[in-house]
Amino acid sequence: MKRILIVDDAATVRMYHRSILEEAGYEVDEAINGIEALEKALNATYDLYLVDVNMPKLDGYSFVRELRGHAMIPQAPAVMISTEAKTSDQTKAFEAGANLYIIKPTRPDLLVAHVRLLLGDTST
């Protein structure tokens, strides 16, 4: 079973994404900020990261940058999910090392479609 790490400081958003992804058959783990996410990435292996932007202690951009700078962590795809819709924010995310950018709030079917693609699952 593929494992996904949801990184978001809002418990409500984590619960929302978790329910969607577990329903789709994935194993889900959570982190409430970038630092906790880095700790978990160092302790476990994930196949995909869903990363919020605005978080305390370590924001989404910085987390992805740290992740990409870590030789010891397998480099799984990262999806930035944010309410910030400006293209400059997306460019900043891609520079940091994100592979896709989705605007919040995500439609469940669209989120699942993107996740399936990024995890290499064939369409149903």
Partner 1 sequence: MTPLLQQFLAEAREFLQGISEKLMQLENTPDDGALMGELFRLVHTLKGNCGLFDYPEMLRVLHAAEDLMVVVRDGDLPYSQTLADRLLDAMDFVSLLLDEIDAGNDSAAAHAPAAVAMAAALRQLIAAPQGIDDTCGEAATATDGTAGLPLQQVPEALRMAWYRTGTALLWIRYTPEAECFFKGEDPFFLARNVPDIAWQRVGAASAWPALDDLDAYHANLQLDLVSSASRAALDEHFRYVPEQITITPLTALALVQPQGDENGGPVYEDFVLAALAHLERGDLVTLERAARSMLELSAAGLWLASALRWLLVILETEPANRAALHAVIVSLRTFAPPRLSAQPLAIVTEAVAAPAPATSPAHDIAATVIATQLMILRMPDQVNWLPGRLKAVASTLAACFASIGRSDLLPGLDAALAGAMAQSASGPLLAWLLAYAEAPAEAADTVPVEAPLASSEPPVALADGDIKFNRRAEDSSTASARTLRVDQDKIDRLMNLIGEMVVAKNGLPYLAGRAESVFGVRELSREIKTQYAVINRIAEEMQGAIMQVRMMPVSFVFQRFPRLVRDISRKLGKEVSLVLIGEDTEADKNIIEALADPLIHIVRNSLDHGLESPEVRRAAGKPAEGKLEIRATQEAGRVIIDIIDDGKGIDPLIIKRKAYEKGLIDEATLERISDQDAINLVFAAGFSTAEVVSDLSGRGVGMDVVRAAVEQVNGIVTLESTVGAGTRLRLSLPLSIAVTNVMIIESNRQIFGVPMDMVVETVRVPRTAIHAIKNHQTAVLRGRVVPLRSLNSLLATDEEQLANDEDELATLVVRLNGEHVGIVVDDFREVVDIILKPMGGILGGLSGYTGSALLGDGSVLMVLNLKELV
Q: Residue 67 and residue 57: Cα distance in Å, rounded?
A: 15
CB of 58 to partner 1, least distance (A): 13
- Quick one: angle between helices 60-68 and 34-43, nearest 10? 30
Residue 78, amino acid: A
Site for partner 1 in 59-88 (CB under 8 A): 65-71, 73-78, 83, 85-88
User: Which is nearer to partner 1, 34 or 110 (by Cβ)?
Assistant: 110
Single out the residue of 23, 25, 44, 57 in contact with partner 1 (rule: CB under 8 A). Answer: 44
DSSP-assigned letters across all residues of 78-120: EEEEES---HHHHHHHHHHT-SEEEESSPPHHHHHHHHHHHTT
CB of 77 to partner 1, least distance (A): 4
Q: Smallest gap, in angstroms, from Cβ of residue 54 to partner 1?
A: 5
Sign of CA dihedral 26, 27, 28, 34: negative
Q: Which residues bind partner 1 (CB under 8 A)?
A: 1-3, 9-13, 15-16, 19, 27, 29-30, 39-40, 43-45, 47, 54-56, 65-71, 73-78, 83, 85-88, 90-91, 94-97, 99-105, 110, 113-114, 116-123
